[in-house]
């Protein structure tokens, strides 16, 4: 169990260092699993504001990411 925790912490530390140097093209070149890890590590929450009454079409401007 301790070994697994150690490798997990080591992997997270390596991921944190690699993320800072990525360009947009390099990010989209990564596998989707790795992209998800980076996004999940970078966000603490996502706030979706209500669309209001009547007009319930999707509006991406109502989505607010909360960065760490």
C-beta separation of 38 from 18 below 8 A: no
Query: What is residue 40's DSSP assignment?
Result: H
Instruction: Specify the number of domains making up the chain.
Output: 1
State the pTM of this model: 0.55
**Range of 7's domain?**
2-67
DSSP classification of residue 8: H
Which pLDDT belongs to residue 32? Answer: 92
Q: In this model, does residue 55 exceed pLDDT 80?
A: no
Pairing of strands 43-48, 63-67: antiparallel
12-45: burial string, b at 16+ Cβ within 10 Å, e else = eeeeeeeeeeeeeeeeeeeeeeeeebbeeeeeee
Whether 19 has a pLDDT exceeding 80, the answer reads no
């Amino acid at each position: 169990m301790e070994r697994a925790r150690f490798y997990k912490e080591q992997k997270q530390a390596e991921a944190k260092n690699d993320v800072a140097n990525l360009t947009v093209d390099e990010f989209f070149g990564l596998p989707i699993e790795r992209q998800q890890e980076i996004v999940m590590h970078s966000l603490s929450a996502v706030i979706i504001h209500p669309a209001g009454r009547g007009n319930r079409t999707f509006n991406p401007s109502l989505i607010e990411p909360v960065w760490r």
